[in-house]
Amino acid sequence: MLRVRLVAIAAGLTLLGAVLGLALTYAGLRGLRLATLDDDNRLLASLIAEVAVQREDQAVRVPAVVTSYLGNERGSVAAHVYVDSQMIWAAGATTAPRPLDPERVLVGTGASTVQEWRVYTMRDEDAGVVVQVGRTLQGLRDVLGPYPGVAIGVVVLVTLLSGLLAWWTVGLALRPLRRLSAAAERVPERDDLPAIPGNDEPARLARAFAALLARLRDERRREHRFLAYAAHELRTPLTGLRAGLEAARSGRLEATPELIGRLHHEASRIETLAQNLLALSTAEVGDANVQSIDLERLAADAYDRFLPLALERGVMLELDATSAPVDGDPRLLDQALGNLVMNALRATRHGSVVIAGGSDEGRAWLEVRDTGSGYDPATAGTGLGLRVVQAVAHAHGGGFDIEGGDGTRARLWLPPSRARA
């Protein structure tokens, strides 16, 4: 469920942010407190180093105010003075380690943490004097000790509140999508989708879905018209073929050459319709087998194939083609050209039909011209054959136009070959 996933992501990010923020806060508070302890230790070590006086008996005289301060800190502060690594003076907490920082008694200066004590070491190399001041970290633990427990409670509370707020916010954001989903489930029952105002993602999705639905409905209507037309076209030759076969089988008609010829003609019509339907389906789904071909060769093959039919009908068939390389599916282009030539031969009782091809103005083209009765421009594209031509042209990124009048000129044009371009 999208809502649950989004809420889980929001809660997870909140949890991560809260944990990271509280961890950084803890580290910052601890670092700030240690810096304060280091400043106090350094100040006290500087004071002891400045006022301490080394005598012949290795005694150190420290002002009474310093000794009093160390005693009043209730065992939380300790100060040691070393000469040549030997402790010669100590004051403050008796529970402090001695030395406070053994390593830095020998070498090194600065702050360090030793056995729950924060120690600052100051060294006078010329006099061989080392001063160490330490403060217990118990106070720091007392202050920051409850922090983890409080932080866990805060993290849990903030995560829960964030999850609840995200649940409510995501619900508001997804409400238009729920309306769209509910309307989409009732698409067969209604003709429109709810309009979602705005320009955010749900609104754009709703508009895109509505446009897609409109295209699907248009495709469905075209499909229904096409199937009705295909069924009508197939019904006539199938009915004639079946009637002739039944009559010959029952003995009502003798299987004369004329009858066999008529049955062959109907079978040829069915075959042509099937080829056109297959070509139309292939072209519309974009399943073309593209390869480099020359339209001049395609026109010559069509001329050879249709010349016997033209001679049988008493029509002069001419070829006027020049080289025009293209990238296309030869099977689809051959079917489209064959449809144009067949239509021209049907429309021309006397006269001529010209199969032409070539290229100009950056386009390759195939053209069929005839001197027949011509096509009615209002109905020229309603037949299955011309619909195949249009689909093939569109599948190849080209176009198709037809002009009627005294004869007909039908031209299918295509982009030139990419290799040639």
The closest of 345, 326, 353, 328 to 385, measured between CA atoms, is: 345
Q: How far apart are CA 269 and CA 244, in angstroms?
A: 15
pLDDT on residue 369: 93
Residue, of 300 and 129, whose pLDDT is higher? 300
- Rounded to whole angstroms, how far apart are CA atoms 414 and 357? 11
Model confidence pLDDT, tens digit, residues 157-203: 888 998 888 888 888 777 777 777 776 666 554 556 666 676 777 67
Give the pLDDT score at 355: 96
Q: What's the average model confidence in pLDDT over 114-121? A: 91
Amino acid identity at 24: L
In whole angstroms, give the CA distance from residue 54 to residue 154: 56
Q: Is the pLDDT at 238 greater than 50, yes or no?
A: yes
pLDDT tens, 14-63? 888 888 988 898 899 889 999 999 999 999 998 888 765 454 455 667 77
Percentage of the chain beyond pLDDT 90 is 28
Whether the pLDDT of residue 387 is over 60: the answer is: yes
- Mean of pLDDT values over 397-406: 87
pTM for this prediction:
0.48
Mean pLDDT, range 201-213, rounded to an integer: 75
Q: What's the length of the chain? A: 421
pLDDT of 277 > 90? The answer is no
* Residue 88 vs residue 241, higher pLDDT: 88
Rounded percentage of the chain residues whose pLDDT exceeds 70: 88
pLDDT at 299 over 90: yes
pLDDT tens digits along 67-91: 788 877 777 899 999 888 888 888 8
Contact present, 108 and 38 (Cβ < 8 Å): no
- Enumerate domains of the chain plus CATH numbers: 2-144 (3.30.450), 201-280 (1.10.287.130), 290-414 (3.30.565.10)
Quote the mean pLDDT of the chain. 82
Q: What is the per-residue pLDDT for 421?
A: 46
Report pLDDT digits (tens) over 324-347. 999 999 999 999 999 999 989 988
pLDDT at 199: 74
What is the Cα–Cα distance from 343 to 337, expressed in whole angstroms? 10
pLDDT band (50, 70, 90) for residue 226: low
Spatial distance between the Cα atoms of 310 and 307, rounded to a whole number of angstroms: 5
pLDDT value of position 140: 84
Please give the pLDDT value at position 62: 74
Residues 6 or more apart whose CB falls under 8 angstroms from that of 348 comprise 313, 315, 370, 371, 372, 373
Question: Would you state the torsion angle of the CA atoms of residues 412, 415, 418, 420, taken in this order, to the nearest 10 degrees?
Answer: 80
What is residue 317's predicted lDDT score, i.e. its pLDDT? 94
Residue 360, pLDDT > 60, answer yes
Predicted confidence at residue 2, as pLDDT, reads 75
Check residue 300 and give its pLDDT: 95
Q: Give the span between the Cα atoms of 277 and 287, in whole angstroms.
A: 14
Q: Which of 10-14, 95-99, 375-379 is least confident? A: 375-379
Lowest mean pLDDT segment, chosen from 138-147, 308-317, 370-379, 384-393:
370-379
Mean pLDDT along residues 210-233: 74
